[in-house]
Amino acid sequence: MDLKLISTIICDDVLRNPGGWLSLYTLFREVYADAYPTTLVRMHVVTTWLNESARTRQVIQRVAVLSPEGELVADQAARFDVGPGAYHTQITRFLDTVFIAPGTYRVQVQAGTEIVADLPLFLMPPVEAAKEPVLSASTPDGTSASAQALSKEEA
């Protein structure tokens, strides 16, 4: 296939500088919370597509977050073009995503109806001696909780 998804990254925040370069902050695969349900204030899924064909290709991308039971937690869809012989980076933003319980959630990227990426997102059970919080999260009733994201390299 001439059009390929070449990377998928889950992170806390993404900023684009005036030159168009992206800065990704707090890459993660694990999230720690003091209590469940918890709300992840923000999460970004950054996908990069490569079109090796000689013509522009249109992508209909859907990013879905699924619970350990396979139920839909959140999703976003976008339609975009990838020029011939070009890369395209798509940023999908999720705000105030509620996670009911700890477990292995899935972040899936679809192109049309085909799943082209399927990544685990581990929501860890509360621990008494939590490390310093990196991400802010809150429970639905507004009480304070903290969530912490660690990359596999930090673990």
Give the model's pLDDT for residue 132. Answer: 53
CATH superfamily of 3-150: Immunoglobulins (2.60.40.10)
Burial of 91 (0-12, 13-18, 19+ CB in 10 A): middle
Question: What is the identity of the amino acid at 8?
Answer: T
Around Cβ 51, how many Cβ atoms within 10 Å?
Answer: 20
Which whole-number Å values give the CA distances from 80 to 30, 57, 62, 151, in the listed order?
29, 9, 11, 29
**What is the tens place of the pLDDT at every residue in 77-109?**
999 999 999 999 999 999 999 999 999 999 999
Question: Per-domain residue ranges for the chain?
Answer: 3-150
Closest to 138 measured CA to CA, from 52, 70, 39: 39
What dihedral do alpha carbons 14, 18, 19, 23 form, nearest 10°?
-20
Of all residues in the chain, what percent carry a pLDDT higher than 70?
A: 81
Burial of 147 (0-12, 13-18, 19+ CB in 10 A): buried
**What is the tens place of the pLDDT at every residue in 2-34?**
999 999 999 999 999 898 899 999 998 899 999
Give the model's pLDDT for residue 28. Answer: 87
